Amino acid sequence: MPEIPEKKHHTLCCRVEIPSPQTLHLWGDLHVDFCSTGPDPVNIIRSDETAHVKVRIDFTGCDLARLLCLEWCIKVAFESCGPAPETALPVQKRRQQVCDEPYIEVTFPIPAGYFSCDPAECGNVFELCVTAVSFDLCGDPAPFAGYCSGGTIMVFPAPERKTKAQATRHV
């Protein structure tokens, strides 16, 4: 049987060009709001009040972001100014397909009594710190991350004694 000669072929090795970060114009915004649930939302709350932190990651107006499909890992922490326990709310993860939704919002509820507050200490001040890290669909960290810090809140003690009206209801 005659030997079949190997086919000759020519292979081209080419590259896909990706714009530099200066011309890529891929960006997003990270917004953080602390909201008390009292009559007037403020950044000073009583220790027995509820509140929440709303985090918004927004790619609105960034045309190239439509190519992103990410899972965000978002953490909200409170660093104390002075002797008070530092805390962090449970981490939340949220998937985002920017082509379908240019922004996502995640709400972190803060239950009443979350912040301990000793009346003898006259209240505590906490700095709000938020981190957001993206992961690709393979579960690896993607090169999109951000943080916000610097917003402060004050927590002051709730009344320890019951009013006359509260005391008579429980009799």
pLDDT, tens digit (0-9, with 9 covering 90-100), for 20-79: 665 567 788 999 999 888 667 678 999 999 999 999 999 988 877 888 899 999 999 999
**What's the pLDDT band for 110 if we cut at 50, 70, 90?**
very high
DSSP H helical ranges for 14-137: 21-24
Q: Which fold has domain 25-159?
A: Immunoglobulin-like (2.60.40)
H helix or E strand, kind and range, residue 168: helix 164-169
What is the b/e burial string over 147-162, where b = at least 16 CB atoms within 10 angstroms of the residue's CB?
Answer: eeeeeebbbbbeeeee
Domain locations in the chain? Answer: 25-159
Indicate the pairing of strand 103-110 with strand 124-135: unpaired
pTM metric for this prediction:
0.78
